[in-house]
Structure 1
């Protein structure tokens, strides 16, 4: 495997694999999972159709880790740079996600074993990324160019990924939990993302319910991992995350009509 003798550099960001993802030369080494073969098939498909916005699967190293191509650029980790929170950056994330969905639309998930899918009716249309968090998008020159960390990818749908992305990038949460330039602009940025992606009327109507379900689904994953002893997720929840999550859920429920009107 190329680069075996090169030094390992720990890559920051992420929670599930914190401290276990390293760069070796022009490659990234990550732990494998029971569902890794499905992810590898997905990445091979994206390469075959010419989609440049994802790492390439290169094989498995001597330690049993998956080997991916290193995507040059900047993944957005705290403290967030001002340019990453701009409307221009948001639009580029919407365009990248739209392009990913076009590329993956011809991929068959059969017969692979996938992580849990989103709940009905948001499952089964295509393989959604399911974790379009800020640190899972790589930027170059202020523009989103690649998605990384496909560990949660599974049979989902377009609107589910858009719900995840707008929830985190707008962001859709009470202003008390937004301490940057996005504060007070959640509704404008929600609409901007939907417009930039090109959501049709039906998906716009489904987006707000998808946001609520996506929020609960992701926190269920975090809670399950913490209950199973995952140290990073346990630390995250111990920091008051569940209290914030419940307040955010209440905010969604109280503002369903407002969110829907922003998309009209």
Structure 2
């Protein structure tokens, strides 16, 4: 794409809502954002998903004349600006994540991509999104699209699903454990979790949520960005208590998930 295709500066609409990505703008029916070292792998993954008919991710359209990523714009409303999902919607969400993971299991990255995974997984099963939260799900009627794939990389199915559980169930401090457990069950049922995955999921949730808290604390200690900034903005005040809540009620989650 040429600079002429990018359009004038006045044609660029700054998109809000992200905590990590900088200078994300909309140009017509595309999104432009900085090219990162992870971008070659991310765009390859998105091309794989598109090739196999997955509709829950944006199309990757290469780079523009300024060297920025170009992605198809996903119209709609971010899920974090909508009412919490119903159990039926959580079931559907589980299926959407399962379809993503099954396609990712067949993905073969070109060469050795330089992934930028924020919280390291316990092992590498597939390439995961790693930030499946309501802030990254755009809903437009029946179409649901996960955005912001810059942090994709090797991980586990239950880690990715567990991170989604934190945001969508949600599993936050001050929740109602019995109700949250029922909603977690709907998400896992929609995914089609087998017995082993159901036993793994509670600890996977804990690993992801505690990992985010530790990342923020370490960022504050070392000055590493954007985690130091996010810590200063108070994000650790959410993730720490959320991790404690998830860990405290581990047996409740296990009981609810049992087949």
Task: Normalising by structure 1, report the TM-score.
Answer: 0.85
Q: Say if 1:105 and 1:126, in contact at 8 Å, map to a contact too.
A: yes
Is 2:75 the partner of 1:81?
Answer: no
Deviation at 1:14, TM superposition (A): 1.7
CA distance, structure 2, for counterparts of residue 249 and residue 159 of structure 1 = 16
Look up the match of 1:254. Answer: 248
SS class of match (1:257): helix
Deviation at 1:223, TM superposition (A): 4.4
Question: Unaligned stretches of 5+ in structure 2?
Answer: none
Deviation at 1:59, TM superposition (A): 1.4
Is 2:180 the partner of 1:186?
Answer: yes
Q: Deviation string for 1:215-247 (max 9, x for gaps)?
A: 12223444455544536x445423443244332
Look up the match of 1:90. Answer: 90
CA distance, structure 1, for counterparts of residue 121 and residue 156 of structure 2 = 11
Q: Say if 1:160 and 1:207, in contact at 8 Å, map to a contact too.
A: yes
Look up the match of 1:13. Answer: 17
Look up the match of 1:104. Answer: 104
Look up the match of 1:118. Answer: 120
Which of 243, 255, 263 is equivalent to 2:257? 263
Of 191-200 and 41-50, deviating more is: 41-50
CA distance, structure 2, for counterparts of residue 101 and residue 228 of structure 1 = 34
CA distance, structure 1, for counterparts of residue 25 and residue 49 of structure 2 = 23
Q: Say if 2:24 and 2:31, in contact at 8 Å, map to a contact too.
A: yes
CA distance, structure 1, for counterparts of residue 92 and residue 143 of structure 2 = 5
Q: CA RMSD for the aligned pairs? A: 2.3
CA distance, structure 1, for counterparts of residue 177 and residue 198 of structure 2 = 23
Which of 20, 33, 48 is equivalent to 2:51? 48
Q: Say if 1:94 and 1:193, in contact at 8 Å, map to a contact too.
A: yes
Which of 188, 208, 215 is equivalent to 1:214? 208
**Residues 1:237 and 1:184: Cα distance change in structure 2 (over 3 Å):** farther
Structure-to-structure mapping, 1:128-167, within 5 angstroms: 128-141=128-141, 143=142, 145-167=144-166
CA distance, structure 1, for counterparts of residue 31 and residue 132 of structure 2 = 19
CA distance, structure 1, for counterparts of residue 189 and residue 88 of structure 2 = 13
